[in-house]
Amino acid sequence: MKTGNPILFSLLILAIFAALLPCSAGGVKGDPKRGVKLFSAMTCDICHLNGGNMQNPDRPIKGAGFQKRYPDDVSLGQLIRKGISDKGMPAFGRDRMSDQDLADVIAYVRSMTPAAAAAKKKTK
Ligand code: HEC
């Protein structure tokens, strides 16, 4: 079979990339199964085992109050990237954690809040 017009062919390839682009440009999609592994690999679990907070029990990373403080993944991602240095929460910059890793960890963190608590403060 002939490949046909090479210009049309490259346009087709471009169109496929254009169709895929919004998924990556609009933020990486997180995978909670990868996230759970990263959560321990990145040492989060040392301080936040099962979504708790060993150093500041008033700041668990699950539950309705938590979801309310961080209603969207952007705000949550910024917090994890910057950390809270004076309170003992380390910063996880791009040198330590890729955007994909961050999205996966966030997906796992969100999954620790039971659906009932999340539904009270439903954002998406
Ligand atoms: C050395 C201990 C430690 C490690 C490791 C750690 N954290 Fe924290 N984290 C804290 C402390 C302490 C706070 C509470 C800071 C405060 O009092 O405001 C916190 C706060 C947070 C919060 C905000 C909670 C809130 O309600 O404001 C999130 C989300 C969070 N951590 C996620 C993570 C993730 C994800 C990781 C791993 C990538 C991680 N933490 C690693 C100690 C840690």
> Hey, which of 40, 50, 53 would you mutate to test ligand 1's pocket, going by the most ligand atoms within 8 Å of its Cβ?
53
Q: What is the pLDDT of residue 14?
A: 79
What pTM did the predictor assign? 0.80
pLDDT tens, residue by residue, 63-121: 999 999 999 999 999 999 999 999 999 999 999 999 999 999 999 999 999 876 767 65
- pLDDT for 25 beyond 70: no
Confidence of residue 123 (pLDDT cuts 50, 70, 90): low
Residue 4: both structure tokens together: 């046909």
Q: What is the pLDDT of residue 97?
A: 96
Q: Is 53 in the pocket of ligand 1 (CB under 6 A)?
A: yes
Long-range pairs of 63-69 with CB within 8 A, sequence gap ≥ 24 = 63/113, 63/117, 64/113, 64/117, 64/118, 64/120, 64/121, 66/113, 67/110, 67/113, 67/117, 67/118, 67/121, 67/123, 68/121
The CATH-assigned architecture of domain 29-120 is Orthogonal Bundle (1.10)
In three-state form (DSSP H/G/I as H, E/B as E, the rest C), the secondary structure along 76-107 is: HHHHHHHCEHHHCECCCCCCCCCHHHHHHHHH
Do 22 and 69 form a contact (C-beta atoms < 8 A)? Answer: no
Q: What is the pLDDT of residue 15?
A: 79
Q: How far is the CA of 116 from the centre of ligand 1 (A)?
A: 23
Q: Is 64 in the pocket of ligand 1 (CB under 6 A)?
A: no
pLDDT tens, residue by residue, 35-48: 999 999 999 999 99
